[in-house]
């Protein structure tokens, strides 16, 4: 295990050097999206519309942040179960994302997609949403405000901690 710093957008070359079990500290912009936002973005892509953010090299964080208390950019923002996003994963990587960030294991199709596209799956510590929120320096609503906490947010993060759960070669922390 190594500790590595990632700055978004992330290149395929950087991803290729990450190994299953590596600890990463993410800085830059990441984008939240859960089930409903993925469905909406999939529809946009199918209709030839641009996504609410540039997907090239992006990290999508499976989270639904709580409202920001006074003086803070965001409330608690822990990861949600990633397997619910499995049906959308291939399309998102086809659109150019670099990585997904959530919690829990992923299906075989997702692992194959990561290998095919040179992507990685990162996990954040579940139950630590308040601690993770401390790493968020700015938050901005980008799309789908009607979805409430499931809207797409752009989070500017600094040293946001995660672990490489599945690397670009298909090595899987849940199977090792």
Which residues belong to the active site?
38
What DSSP element (H or E) covers 108? helix 108-117
Determine contact, residues 58/21, Cβ cutoff 8 Å: no
Phi, psi for residue 123 in degrees, rounded to 5: -120, 145
Exposure class string for 105-125: b at 16+ Cβ within 10 A, else e? bbeeebbebbeebbbbbbbbe
Q: How far apart are CA 61 and CA 102, in angstroms?
A: 6
């Amino acid at each position: 295990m190594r500790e590595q710093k990632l700055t978004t957008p992330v290149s395929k070359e950087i991803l290729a050097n990450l190994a299953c079990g590596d600890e990463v500290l993410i800085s830059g912009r990441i984008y939240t999206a859960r089930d409903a936002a993925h469905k909406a973005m999939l529809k946009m892509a199918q209709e030839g519309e641009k996504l609410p953010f540039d997907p090239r090299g992006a990290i999508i964080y499976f989270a639904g942040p709580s409202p920001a208390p006074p003086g803070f950019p965001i409330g608690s923002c822990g990861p949600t179960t990633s397997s619910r996003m499995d049906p959308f994963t291939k399309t998102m990587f086809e659109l150019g994302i670099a990585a997904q960030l959530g919690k829990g294991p992923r299906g075989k199709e997702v692992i194959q997609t990561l290998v095919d596209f040179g992507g990685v799956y990162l996990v954040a510590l579940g139950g630590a949403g308040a601690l993770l929120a401390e790493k968020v320096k700015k938050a901005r609503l980008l799309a789908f405000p009607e979805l409430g906490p499931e809207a797409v947010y752009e989070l500017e993060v600094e040293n946001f901690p995660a672990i490489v759960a599945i690397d670009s070669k298909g090595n899987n922390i849940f199977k090792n």
